[in-house]
Amino acid sequence: MSPVGVIAKREVASYFDSLIAYIIIVAFLGFTGFFTWLYGSDIFMRKQADLAAFFGVARWTLFFFIPAITMRQLAEEKKTGTIELLLTKAISERQIILGKFLSCLIMVGLALLFTLPYYITLTQLGNVDHGAIISGYFGLLLMSAAYISIGLFASSITNNQIVAFLVALFISIFFQLLFDIMSSGASGFMAELFTTLSLSRHYDSIVRGVLDSKDIIYFVSLTLFWLMLAELNIRTRN
Amino acid sequence: MDIKIQQLSKSYGTQKAVDDISFEVKPGEILGFLGPNGAGKTTTMKMITSYLELDQGDILIGGKSVKGGDLKKYIGYLPEHNPLYLDMPVLDYLAFCAALQGMEKSEIPNRIRQMVRQCGLDLEKHKFIRELSKGYRQRVGLAQAMIHDPEVLILDEPTTGLDPNQIVEIRELIKSLGKEKTVILSTHILPEVEATCDRILIINKGKIVADGTSDLLRKKAQGQQILQLRIEDGETNAIFQRLQDLASVNSVDILNPAENRFEVQSVLNESSNRAIFELCVKNNWVLSEAIPLETKLEDIFRDLTMN
């Protein structure tokens, strides 16, 4: 197994050993299930066989849950000193970051996998636009990748998990909400810039079923940017 | 693989942690790294394991610089406070470390079995690391350092937290490993270096202050012979006077006038044994005790690191 795989496997196992995995999955299913099927503008109110309600609530649920998954990743290693153990093994900083990134993505992927019954139920209710749903899930994964990388960066700058959690939320809220708001307040180039930076704009267009290379490039580069910063952070140690 | 350290320096801000040190360690040699707290031992070790970057100078392992080549797989490292993943079972943890070091999957189970036996972890191997006592955690730390059979072993205070029996076992283990491998270990415990190491390096304020075998260091630190004597059947002051008159004697101290105990320091590179014996015979005194005082490693250490 590659070193990235070894790291990812350990992290996933540790999520399940410490019950974090179960709590996250149950809470995620509880929230999204409640708002998708039971409350507010749920599927029955909309009278449309789509998962727009789910994609709306999952965006916010993951927004809060991902920092909770990522906060311990590097912060705890730094606090207990195990980072020294990792870094003196035959493995590079990049492989460590990628392994941890992968483990978080697997956790989110698992949570999303358990929402498949939503989709199966939906197909019994009416004519479903399968393409839109697949691209919706794809959008959720892309968004999660971006927030995981922000979370890993936040975890790499501190050895306190709470600080890592709050910093991750603070950075993420700009992409989730604030850039969007700022873009409507600004004009000209700034408005353009904030619109481009706003994660929700890109997410919405993917969830609508439009797979534009522009959006994919946005998510990929956002993810790589924060991952590189995280790598840089654990590379400099003195 | 040998380790060559060349004019190595490292600063934290304005403070020099390691200041222009050079030394070599050969395969089959165990080097004891001694020094007071904050002398730069751990910093040097962290640089050898490429956890810290070098400011100046170079470290060559098997002829390759740690700056360039990826040498980490040849090194086994036990860090200072022995950090471990407490939420992992011992066996899983060792498997994790072995896989990270790039061991073949088919070799791992056998190797783990061997390490568990060698480090005396057989009864604890199914426990979580958080359930282990400090001594057993230390053994797990040693096991993970040696799991991939590295040619170079860097052990930062390997015996802290072990009970006396365990200390002896671990020392024996390190000694037997040291026959083929290049080992550097740091410690505060002076008898430990004497018992385990072929060579001692004392470092203070980032500089090397002594380098050699423990015997060599002893000779260097103390050229003068010191004898503790007890002479019966004589008058204290007369004995004192006569002892001082001997040509080979440098100074005499009265330790206990009632029991006629003296401490005699000889002139450099001379022994007073014979002269004292003959003096006693001539005066019909009974020489009931003559104890040569060895300089302890503790004294050498204190001499070299306090100033």
Instruction: Look up the domain containing B290 and give its range.
Output: 223-300
Residue pairs spanning A and B at CB distance below 8 A: 63
Write down the pLDDT at residue B48.
92
Mutate to test the interface with A, among B100, B128, B130 (most CBs of A within 10 A): B100
Chain mean pLDDT for chain A: 91
Indicate the Cα dihedral angle B74, B76, B79, B82, nearest 10°. Answer: 150
Tell me the shortest Cα–Cα distance from B101 to chain A, in angstroms: 5
Q: How many CB atoms lie within 10 A of CB B105?
A: 10
Which residue among B49, B53, B81 sits closest to A88, beta carbon to beta carbon?
B49
Write down the pLDDT at residue A44.
81
For residues A30-41, average pLDDT: 87
* 31-70 in chain B: CB under 8 A from chain A: 46, 49-53, 70
How far apart CA B115 and CA B122 sit, in angstroms, is 9
Interface pTM (ipTM) of the complex? 0.90
User: Is residue B207 located within the same domain as residue B253?
Assistant: no
In a domain, B235, yes or no: yes
Write down the pLDDT at residue A45.
79
Write down the pLDDT at residue A238.
58
Of B212, B242, B277, the domain-final residue: B212
Residue matched to tokens 């580069």: A221
Q: How many CB atoms lie within 10 A of CB B45?
A: 24
In a domain, B305, yes or no: no
Mutate to test the interface with B, among A74, A85, A94, A103 (most CBs of B within 10 A): A85
pLDDT at A40 over 80: no
In a domain, B306, yes or no: no
Tell me the shortest Cα–Cα distance from A237 to chain B, in angstroms: 7
User: Is residue B32 located within the same domain as residue B174?
Assistant: yes
**Contact across the interface for B83 and A81, Cβ inside 8 Å:** yes
- CATH code: domain of residue B141: 3.40.50.300
For residues A161-188, average pLDDT: 92
Give exposure, A86-122, as e/b (b: 16+ Cβ within 10 Å): bbbbbbbbbbbbbbbbbbbbbbbebbbeebeebbeeb
User: Is residue B242 located within the same domain as residue B281?
Assistant: yes
Q: Does B149 touch chain A (CB under 8 A)?
A: no
Write down the pLDDT at residue A167.
97
* 31-70 in chain A: CB under 8 A from chain B: none
* 125-184 in chain A: CB under 8 A from chain B: none
Of B154, B180, B212, the domain-final residue: B212
Which residue among A3, A237, A238 sits closest to B100, beta carbon to beta carbon?
A3
User: Is residue B191 located within the same domain as residue B257?
Assistant: no
Which residue among B12, B70, B85 sits closest to A90, beta carbon to beta carbon?
B70
In a domain, B217, yes or no: no
In a domain, B170, yes or no: yes
Kind of pairing between the strands at B261-266 and B249-256: antiparallel
- CB neighbours of A132 closer than 8 A, spacing ≥ 6? A50, A207, A208, A209
User: Is residue B140 located within the same domain as residue B173?
Assistant: yes
Determine the Cα angle at A235 with ends A230 and A238, to 5°: 120
Q: How many CB atoms lie within 10 A of CB B24?
A: 15
How far apart CA B69 and CA B60 sit, in angstroms, is 10
**Contact across the interface for B52 and A10, Cβ inside 8 Å:** no
User: Is residue B156 located within the same domain as residue B252?
Assistant: no
How far apart CA B161 and CA B53 sit, in angstroms, is 29
User: Is residue B152 located within the same domain as residue B292?
Assistant: no
In a domain, B130, yes or no: yes
pLDDT tens track, chain B, 307 positions: 889 999 999 988 888 889 889 999 999 899 998 888 888 899 999 999 989 888 889 999 988 888 876 888 899 999 988 999 999 999 999 999 999 998 999 999 999 999 999 888 889 889 999 999 888 898 899 899 999 999 999 999 888 777 888 888 888 888 888 888 899 999 877 778 888 888 889 888 888 888 888 777 776 666 667 788 888 888 888 888 888 888 888 888 888 888 888 888 887 777 778 888 888 888 888 888 888 876 666 777 777 777 6
In chain B, the number of structural domains is: 2
Q: Which residues pair with B264 in a beta bridge?
A: B227, B252
In a domain, B77, yes or no: yes
User: Is residue B205 located within the same domain as residue B261?
Assistant: no
User: Is residue B184 located within the same domain as residue B266?
Assistant: no
Write down the pLDDT at residue B69.
66
Q: Does A87 touch chain B (CB under 8 A)?
A: yes
In a domain, B260, yes or no: yes
**Contact across the interface for B92 and A238, Cβ inside 8 Å:** no
User: Is residue B195 located within the same domain as residue B234?
Assistant: no
How far apart CA A63 and CA A127 sit, in angstroms, is 30
For residues A213-218, average pLDDT: 93
Give exposure, A140-161, as e/b (b: 16+ Cβ within 10 Å): bbbbbbbbbbbbbbbbbbbbbb
**Contact across the interface for A89 and B53, Cβ inside 8 Å:** no
**Contact across the interface for B51 and A14, Cβ inside 8 Å:** no
How far apart CA A127 and CA A208 sit, in angstroms, is 16
Of B182, B212, B242, the domain-final residue: B212
User: Which residue of chain B comes nearest to A3, CA vs CA?
Assistant: B100
How far apart CA A95 and CA B202 sit, in angstroms, is 37
- CATH code: domain of residue B290: 3.30.70.100
Q: Does A89 touch chain B (CB under 8 A)?
A: yes
Of B300 and A126, the structure prediction assigns the larger pLDDT to A126
For residues A89-118, average pLDDT: 94
Burial category of B112 from C-beta neighbours within 10 Å (exposed 0-12, middle 13-18, buried 19 and up) = buried
User: Is residue B234 located within the same domain as residue B189?
Assistant: no
User: Is residue B118 located within the same domain as residue B141?
Assistant: yes
**HEC profile of chain B:** CCEEEEEEEEEECCEEEEEEEEEEECCCCEEEEECCCCCCHHHHHHHHCCCCCCCEEEEEECCEECCCCCCHHHEEEECCCCCCCCCCEHHHHHHHHHHHCCCCCCCHHHHHHHHHHHCCCHHHCCCEHHHCCHHHHHHHHHHHHHCCCCCEEEEECCCCCCCHHHHHHHHHHHHHHHCCCEEEEEECCHHHHHHHCCEEEEEECCEEEEEECHHHHHHHHCCCCEEEEEEECCCHHHHHHHHHHCCCEEEEEEEECCCCEEEEEECCCCCCHHHHHHHHHHHCCEEEEEEECCCCHHHHHHHHHCC
Residues of chain A contacting residue B88, judged by C-beta atoms under 8 Å apart: 10, 14, 17
Which residue among B49, B53, B100 sits closest to A91, beta carbon to beta carbon?
B100
